Structure 1
Amino acid sequence: MLIVLRHGQSTANAAGLFTGVLDAPLSDQGIREAHTATVLLNLALPGERPPTTGTGSPAMTTAPAPAPAAAPVTLFTSTLTRARQTAAIVAAGLARPPVGCDADWRLNERNYGALTGRSKDDVRAEFGEEQFVAWRRSVAEAPPAMGDLLYDEFAGTALFRALPAAALNRTEALSDVITRVDAFLTERVDPLLACGETVLVVAHGNSLRALCAVIDGLSDGQIRDLNLPTGQPLVYRFNARGRPVPFGGRYLDSVTALAAALTLANEGGT
């Protein structure tokens, strides 16, 4: 089982900014979303649901039935603060703590180049709706590259000084993110799934769009239309041929998640 979780709302999300590699923390709402996601995960992970009586309430007077064997859970997160905060809240709240928790820069959010930190409303007003949507939603088109001043500002942070040079480009198309996420899946996730483990990936709207694109084999049009809301766990199970069942996975709280995804789409997307 593979579970993907977009971090809770960040302060930059709340402010309507192009966030990308901007290292914004969770907002208060984002912290609440991370805790809610943890509750959903505890209900979904094998062996974690409390035994119940025939009425559906927790058993109080009878000995609990043996829990099904629970696969080990390994947690991966990006190196950005909002994802690491979400992962820490989840790891601390899981009834069965992860056997491993590791950060991998290849899960970092897409670099929005010169748009980083700018208001989305301002960018839309300056460049027009068509260009705004192309920069946000297309697979192949990258935003304008960072200039030297902005690039050097990010390169000089403790975060990026500790990462490989490849972790910070001047801009990225979603196709670039798909390439690095695909390599991460092949190297780190596929071997664990093959051993029957459960993998939980906490990352970002675009790096998880890239992950879903690889797993589901999405077309460019399907990738463009995919929106992943914050704080909503999406579960993938796989058949004997390694294909996801069902296609596109299943949200643990489908009603809330799909409503939030529709709101995202109306705002211009993830």
Structure 2
Amino acid sequence: GFKVDVAYTSVLKRAIKTCNLALEAADQLHVPVTKTWRLNERMYGGLQGLDKKETVLKHGADQVLIWRRSFDAPPPPIEEGSEFDPKKDVKYVDLDPKDIPTCESLKDVITRVMPFWEEVIVPQLKAGKTVFVAAHGNSIRAIVKFIEGMSDDAIPTLEIPTGTPLVYLLDADLKPISQDLTVDPLKFGRYLGDAEKIKAAAEAVKNQTKVG
């Protein structure tokens, strides 16, 4: 078991629940948790409220693949006043409206996440703390891209298996340390669990947009 010193999560309930469940399972509910919108999942704009298969049926598999697999192609922006418009959400009342995205590409998510990584998480790591982050596929991709040094072309294809802990060991300069049992394409991060089950979970995420 890992001893966690500090935890970070998004302001979305699924990540908050995951964070709480993980800390409870580790008997570490006393660990301070910071919630931030910067760790939120990607803002899918006009696609909000649709599940992945509904999105394929509405927009076509080819277009959805572009949105999912492109580094810098955002979906259409959300309609102002929509029930899913984040500007109407009480979670964001303290944010400047211009900072609230109406849609995001993966590149936009990285731009949103990295200031929090650099200004908040990195100082904790430099202080020798063990940091736990409970976030979402795309906000985790942002952090993984930085740690692993993955290219803009490679990172959109990385599947993050749901609910599977991913562990990085960093040296004093915050460079990743090689570990056994890494799963391609990761060179440094190690998932906790059975390797075959992890690969199957990643494949399941990949197949979520397939219809029929």
TM (norm. structure 1) is 0.68
- Aligned match of 2:5: 73
Task: Provide the rounded CA distance (Å) in 1 between the counterparts of 2:99 and 2:12.
Answer: 11
CA contact (8 A) 1:105 1:163 kept: no
Range with greater deviation from structure 2 (260-269 or 196-205): 260-269
Q: In structure 2, what residue type is equivalent to 1:251?
A: Y
Matched, 1:86 2:18: yes
Residue deviations 1:152-194 (CA, integer Å, cap 9, x gap): 8432222222444355211111111101211111011111111
Q: Which runs of 5+ in 1 are unaligned?
A: 1-42, 47-71
CA contact (8 A) 2:78 2:102 kept: yes
Matched, 1:200 2:132: yes
Once the two structures are aligned, what percentage of the paired residues are identical? 36
Q: How many residues align?
A: 201
Q: In structure 2, what residue type is equivalent to 1:235?
A: V
Matched, 1:179 2:111: yes
Q: 1:231 aligns with which of 163, 181, 199?
A: 163
Residue deviations 1:120-146 (CA, integer Å, cap 9, x gap): 223223332221111112110000011
Once the 2 structures are TM-superposed, how far is the Cα of residue 83 of structure 1 from its aligned partner? 0.9
Find the residue that maps to 1:238 and give its secondary structure.
coil
CA contact (8 A) 1:135 1:143 kept: yes
Q: In structure 2, what residue type is equivalent to 1:123?
A: T
Once the 2 structures are TM-superposed, how far is the Cα of residue 222 of structure 1 from its aligned partner? 1.6
Once the 2 structures are TM-superposed, how far is the Cα of residue 97 of structure 1 from its aligned partner? 4.3
CA contact (8 A) 1:178 1:214 kept: no
Stretches of 4+ aligned residues off by more than 4 angstroms = none
Task: Provide the rounded CA distance (Å) in 1 between the counterparts of 2:145 and 2:83.
Answer: 28
Cα gap change, 1:264 to 1:152, in 2 (>3 Å): closer
Cα gap change, 1:89 to 1:106, in 2 (>3 Å): same
Q: 1:262 aligns with which of 193, 196, 203?
A: 203
CA contact (8 A) 1:212 1:248 kept: no
Q: In structure 2, what residue type is equivalent to 1:264?
A: V
CA contact (8 A) 2:52 2:208 kept: no
> Which of the two has greater strand per residue?
1
Q: In structure 2, what residue type is equivalent to 1:267?
A: Q
Q: Highest relative contact order (Cα 8 Å, sep 6+), 1 or 2?
A: 1
Task: Provide the rounded CA distance (Å) in 1 between the counterparts of 2:44 and 2:34.
Answer: 25
CA contact (8 A) 1:87 1:202 kept: yes
Matched, 1:106 2:38: yes
CA contact (8 A) 2:164 2:198 kept: yes
Task: Provide the rounded CA distance (Å) in 1 between the counterparts of 2:165 and 2:84.
Answer: 35
Range with greater deviation from structure 2 (166-175 or 178-187): 166-175
Matched, 1:249 2:189: yes
Range with greater deviation from structure 2 (226-235 or 86-95): 86-95
1:35-54 counterparts in 2 under 5 A? Answer: 43=1, 45=2
TM (norm. structure 2) is 0.85
